[in-house]
A = this chain, B = another copy of it.
Amino acid sequence: MSIELSATDRLREAGIRVTVPRLLIFQYLIDNRTHPTCDRIYNDLKDSNPSLSLATVYNVTEKLAEEKLVAVIVSPDGERHYDSITDFHGHFYCDQCSSIYDFKCRPDKMPECLKGAVVKSVSYIARGYCPECAGNHI
């Protein structure tokens, strides 16, 4: 069985400073697998953390994503959502209620848990440096 590292240890392991907002937001994302946006994270945390700033939520989530401690999901409406699970998986976005479902995937078929869903489109996007630009980055 694998040892679960604490949020603090995972930040340390990544070699970045352990700060109050980073711990707070990272732990929030570990506890809330609801694909929140920065705005949502901020609104959920600001009451119990009055000194927290929205700009900090943007800074922290960006840093966590950079260190691959969280994954970024850009929904079809262009908003950024964050997820503490970084393993590859698909996302299903509901055009009506805007919720985001996780699923294990194959590009051609939807899984059991999405039985009954009306799939209007599927997109698969990879990201990184293209062959032309890769040379400048390795």
Contact = CB atoms under 8 A, between A and B. Distances in A.
A130 interface: yes
Pick from A92, A117, A123, A131 the residue with the most CB of B within 10 Å.
A123
Interface in A94-129: 94-97, 99, 101, 105-107, 110, 114-129
B97 A132 contact: yes
A15 interface: no
A95 B65 CA distance: 14
A18 interface: no
Nearest to A134: B118
A137 interface: yes
B129 A94 contact: yes
Given A131-B115, A134-B116, A126 B78 contact: no
A124 B131 CA distance: 21
B92 A133 contact: no
A95 B126 contact: no
A118 B96 contact: no
Contacts of A20: none
Contact of A96 (B77, B106, B136): B136
A57 interface: no
A72 interface: yes
Contacts of A76: 72, 74, 125, 127
